[in-house]
Amino acid sequence: MEIIPAIDLIDGKCVRLSKGDYNAQKTYSDNPLDVALMFQDAGLKRLHLVDLDGARSKHVVNHRTLENIASHTDLVIDFGGGVKSDEDLKIAFSSGAAMVTVGSTAVSQPELMYEWIDRFGPGRMILGADVRDGYISVNGWKEDSKLTLNDFLNQYTAKGITRVLCTDINRDGMLQGPATGLYRSILKDFPTLGLIASGGVSCVEDLTGLMEAGLPSAIVGKAYYEGRITLEQLSQLANG
């Protein structure tokens, strides 16, 4: 299973929220590049970089931090948060993102998302499926849509999407375990999907459980920052 460490950005700093609540913010580092370099030195290959300012502002904000990390590491970065327009997508890719995660725009402007998939290829687009009580949530998790997870996945796999980053919002940042049952259900319906589990990972056992459930990839954030999972453990899982 591919281990993908996460860095969430507010004001250019590495932070974490609880359940997406901007009032429940904790800063872990003033220099996200230092954090990214630690991940790289541990042998990790990927990075999930989230522009929380962008998600709230509805346009990309922390692109200079993306550029700084991309230009000083070899990490394969997927970038999300605030990608709402052609200009946002252009900024993300030109700043060094290998892939871009798109959630809210895929809900509100599907024709635009289809165009991006056609233009850049499904390999560079990750569908962000942020789920609360079975429905897709949008705009920095502040609003719930009327679109069910299953309908959302059917809609975009039909358009060629192969990677989906699925977050159970009620578990994110809570260190109470991932939504393994939900992911099993998704993989049962979409067995070839490149599903990325996100939210709730609290310990190494959570990651091994996801691995046993057949998850191709999993994101680790708060558990690492709170010292519940060590860099050495992440390295061992990622590199066998």
Place of tokens 């990490």: 75
194-198 and 163-168 beta bridge pairing: parallel
> Left (φ > 0), alpha (ψ -120 to 50) or beta: where does 91 sit?
alpha
According to DSSP, the residues that pair with 196 across neighbouring strands are: 165, 217
**Within 10 A of 155 (CB to CB), how many other CB atoms are there?**
17
The two three-digit tokens of residue 169, written as one number = 């919002």
The answer to whether the beta carbons of residues 85 and 44 sit under 8 Å apart is no
The verdict on whether 8 is a catalytic residue reads yes
Rounded distance between C-alpha atoms, residue 196 and residue 16, angstroms:
19
- Catalytic residue chosen out of the listed positions 51, 53, 88, 130: 130
21-29 and 13-18 beta bridge pairing: antiparallel
- Catalytic residue chosen out of the listed positions 8, 53, 78, 88: 8
The verdict on whether 34 is a catalytic residue reads no
The residue length of the chain stands at: 240
**Residues with catalytic roles:** 8, 130
